[in-house]
């Protein structure tokens, strides 16, 4: 008698034949094996792409130029103290001159718009992850700064730091600074999926991981009383049109013009956090909207250059769906027009050079180094 198919049991219930059961088990085992093989193959592909990206992006050979010093020294008033924390994007890795670093650009822009000197301290460290903010903030609070700008997250993505761990270190840093009376602006994690040496499917995963971290950073930082600006793929679309202008020669870190574009979207938030008048912020004003904080974070990661800060609606910080947040999106500019606007917004109509009294001599580039020399994908 065949054991294939269903058979009635003595109790009247339908039972599965032994052969059918064996074939089902074999099919399940085959499917599990195929899934495991696919997962292993995918992991191997991603590992190979990561190794290829590391080979394409060269190792660091020189530190970024020091930009510490007094900006706008001839202006009246007590200097405003500003600190820059984070990784190599905060330090300005990939440029030669101190005046090309984001810290110098921001200090210059703030000095010119507030008409007062700005003393800049760059505490950012090349290769830092969010956990590396701990010693940086300890040094920062001793300086009692009025403003702190933080750029962090890229290395957490490449190191696959858990989002809650990375965000926890960032929020602790923001809270310590806010408790010390410092205004804080955070440039959230850039979109590593916009980096050309990273190929699909690793690029797609990098984009997803970057956006997840950026959204979590936005929610946590605004809850802690600071401002955020999404950097996202700020340079990505323009890189396709002008790859030699906005990125360094390694195609990973921004060039001097790329940093100018990034600093231009950070400057209005910095001025706003310092309580500058509306007139000081209207050159690249953009449109404002009010959303719940989670909604604002979601929109910000999809639109680079979006500023998010806490706000009140009807006198209340929170509504039924959580804290209220105000978004300000910058106008969509492209190509050289955006670069021109960025430089004029930062340095004034003449685009004049940065005037500062340096605290540190510029460190020479090593023999054999190349313009825009940068570091690895893990140490951004």
What is d(CA 363, CA 380) in angstroms, rounded to the nearest whole number? Answer: 20
Catalytic residue among 156, 191, 233, 250: 250
Q: Which residues contact 366 (CB under 8 A, 6 or more apart)?
A: 61, 62
Residue 291: enclosing H or E segment and its boundaries?
A: strand 287-292
Query: Would you state the torsion angle of the CA atoms of residues 105, 111, 117, 121, taken in this order, to the nearest 10 degrees?
Result: -30
CA dist., res. 11 & res. 22, Å (int): 23
Whole-number Å distance between alpha carbons of 268 and 328:
10
Q: Are 359 and 79 in contact (CB under 8 A)?
A: no
207 torsion bin: left (phi>0), alpha (psi -120 to 50), beta (else): alpha
68 is catalytic: no
Q: Residue 205: which of 317, 96, 53 has the closest Cα?
A: 53
Catalytic residue among 87, 88, 230, 379: 88
Q: Active-site residue among 156, 253, 255, 379?
A: 253
CA dihedral over 217, 58, 127, 205, signed as positive or negative:
positive
**Catalytic status, residue 253:** yes
Distance CA 161, CA 140 (A): 24
CB-based contact 148:184 (threshold 8 Å): yes
CB 69 within 8 A of CB 121: no
Catalytic residue list:
88, 250, 253
């Amino acid at each position: 008698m065949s054991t294939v198919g269903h058979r009635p049991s003595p109790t009247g219930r339908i039972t599965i034949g032994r052969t059918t059961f064996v074939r089902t088990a074999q099919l399940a085992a085959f499917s599990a094996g195929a899934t495991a093989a696919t997962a292993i193959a995918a992991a191997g592909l991603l590992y190979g792409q990561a190794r290829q990206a590391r080979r394409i992006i060269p190792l660091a050979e020189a530190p970024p130029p020091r930009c510490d010093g007094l900006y706008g020294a001839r202006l009246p008033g007590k200097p405003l103290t500003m600190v820059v924390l984070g990784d190599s994007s905060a330090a300005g890795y990939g440029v030669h001159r101190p005046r090309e670093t984001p810290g110098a650009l921001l200090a210059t822009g703030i000095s010119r718009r507030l008409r007062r000197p700005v003393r800049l301290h760059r505490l950012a460290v090349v290769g830092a992850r969010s956990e590396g903010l701990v010693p940086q903030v300890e040094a920062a609070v001793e300086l009692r700064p009025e403003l702190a700008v933080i750029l962090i997250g890229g290395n957490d993505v490449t190191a696959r730091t858990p989002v809650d761990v990375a965000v926890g270190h960032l929020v602790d840093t923001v809270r310590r600074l806010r408790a010390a009376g410092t205004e804080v602006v955070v440039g959230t994690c850039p979109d590593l999926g916009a980096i050309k040496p990273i190929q699909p499917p690793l690029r797609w995963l990098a984009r997803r991981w970057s956006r997840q971290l950026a959204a979590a950073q936005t929610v946590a930082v605004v809850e802690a009383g600071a401002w955020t600006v999404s950097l996202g793929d700020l340079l990505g679309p323009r890189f396709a049109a002008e790859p030699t202008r906005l990125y360094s020669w390694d195609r990973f870190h921004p060039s001097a013009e790329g940093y100018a574009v990034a600093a231009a979207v950070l400057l209005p938030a910095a001025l706003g956090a310092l309580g500058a008048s509306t007139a000081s912020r209207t050159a690249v004003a953009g449109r404002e909207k009010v959303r719940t904080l989670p909604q604002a974070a979601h929109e910000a990661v999809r639109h680079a250059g979006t500023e998010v800060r806490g706000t009140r609606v009807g006198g209340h910080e929170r509504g039924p769906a959580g804290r209220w947040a105000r978004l300000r999106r910058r106008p969509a500019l492209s190509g050289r027009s955006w670069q021109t606007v960025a430089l004029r917004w930062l340095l004034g109509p003449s685009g004049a050079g940065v005037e500062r009294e340096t605290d540190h001599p510029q460190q020479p580039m090593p023999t054999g180094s190349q313009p825009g020399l940068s570091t690895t994908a893990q140490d951004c």
